[in-house]
Amino acid sequence: MASQNQSVLHDTQVAQGGSFVEYGDWTWAATFGDVDAEYRAIRTGVCLWDVYALQKWDVTGADAVKAIQRVFTNNLQTQTVGQVRYGAFVNADGAMIDDGTVYKHADDHLWVMTNADDFPTQVAGEIAGLDVTIESRTFDMPLIAVQGPGSRDLLQAQTETDLASLRYFRFLPEQVKVAGIPVWLMRTGFSGELGYELIPARADAVELWTILTNAGGVPVGLDAIEVARVEAGLIVIDADYTPGQTSPFDVSLDKTVVSDASVGIVGAEALAKTAAAPPYRLKTLRIEGSDVPEYGASVKKDGKVVGAVTSPAISPTFGVIGLATLATEYAANGTSVEVNLGEDGSRAARAFVADLSIHDPDKRKPRS
């Protein structure tokens, strides 16, 4: 079996009591011993999450924007320097191959962050002939997410940069210092809360993590992050969507799909057809009882399969919940459905359709 890639922070996290899980080709911290405390840090305090394994690509060349726009659903033509755009990466059939973010440094320089590590190969055919170079920067760009209602106050005490002036989904295109360490600073995150993400040099990552921990940041792992992201309606590849099969509309990414065909997205025609009448919606189900369904559990209405649970979770705040892809006619809030709890379909739990982000339907908290 091939060895797993490890974060530059791995040994430090071992010393902090972390336990680990293998996910893809990477070893991730699962928990630091108290998942409930980690969850509370996300929702009421400040958490630190090591996102080293996020795939980071340096995209340069005169056609950088044109190339990425061909496979990215959000509008990069109107993106300004220092702005971040989230969306889906699609093929010519309008199916998602990944989802992620694009950071604009200049007209000829972008950062692209994805889940899969073969992004250049996936898009090679679509960008052939363009003046663009895509270089992996994952291993030399550690990413520390500082998330939670107290994140701004904790970081502001460590920097002279005015964090209150940095708007949501913006980043500073020049490095600044946090705790005396040069970092790229972004107002982004994967928690559904106010938050920031920091990219120091690889050699500085352990020192920065340690300083932020000593300042009150609580290290968290995937177990707590999974609950928080399900509450916030944030999707994960291979759970909430299947690369090469799922439309962005199936996971309710409508707002990230530009409707202007002249922008140059390869799947524009297919996307426009689906946009006219999306057959599926991604919503949250509030599931009665204490049993948690499996990933992919069927959802039924009057005995008819109308969807599937893509990401179940036990929330300390909301009880048993799950993201679910539902046929549009059954996706209205308050609709009563049944969720399969057994492989043979012999048991089911009643559930009710709710907002995709059950934690913060209008996403006001990360914008606060």
Average pLDDT taken over every residue of the chain: 97
Query: Residue type for 339, please?
Result: V
Q: Per-residue pLDDT tens for 119-164?
A: 999 999 999 999 999 999 999 999 999 999 999 999 999 999 999 9
Domains identified in the chain and CATH numbers: 5-52+142-231 (3.30.1360.120), 279-354 (2.40.30.110)
Residue 88: phi, psi to the nearest 5?
-100, 145
> What confidence category does residue 171 fall into, taking pLDDT thresholds of 50, 70 and 90?
very high
Strand arrangement of the beta sheet that strand 195-200 belongs to: 176-178, 181-186, 195-200, 144-147, 47-50, 218-219
Write the DSSP assignment of 80-101 as a string of letters: PTTBEEEEEEE-TTS-EEEEEE
Question: How confident is the model over 47-65, as pLDDT tens digits?
Answer: 999 999 999 999 999 999 9
Helix axes 35-44, 222-231, angle to 10 degrees: 50
Q: What is the pTM of this model?
A: 0.97
Confidence (pLDDT) at 3: 65
Separation between Cα atoms, residue 207 and residue 204, nearest integer Å: 5
pLDDT in the model for residue 75: 97
Nearest to 168, CA basis, from 192, 144, 150: 192
Q: In whole angstroms, give the CA distance from residue 27 to residue 53.
A: 9
Q: Residue 356: what residue type?
A: L
Give the residue from 140, 127, 150, 155 showing the smallest Cα distance to 65: 127
| pLDDT for the residue 2 | 46
Q: Is the pLDDT of residue 346 over 90?
A: no
Q: What is the mean pLDDT of residues 219-241?
A: 98
Which residues contact residue 243 at a Cβ distance below 8 angstroms, ignoring those fewer than 6 apart? 95, 96, 97, 98, 116, 237
Tens digits of residue pLDDT in 78-131: 999 999 999 999 999 999 999 999 999 999 999 999 999 999 999 999 999 999
Task: Locate 46 and state its tokens.
Answer: 């400040």
Instruction: Compute the average pLDDT of residues 297-313.
Output: 97
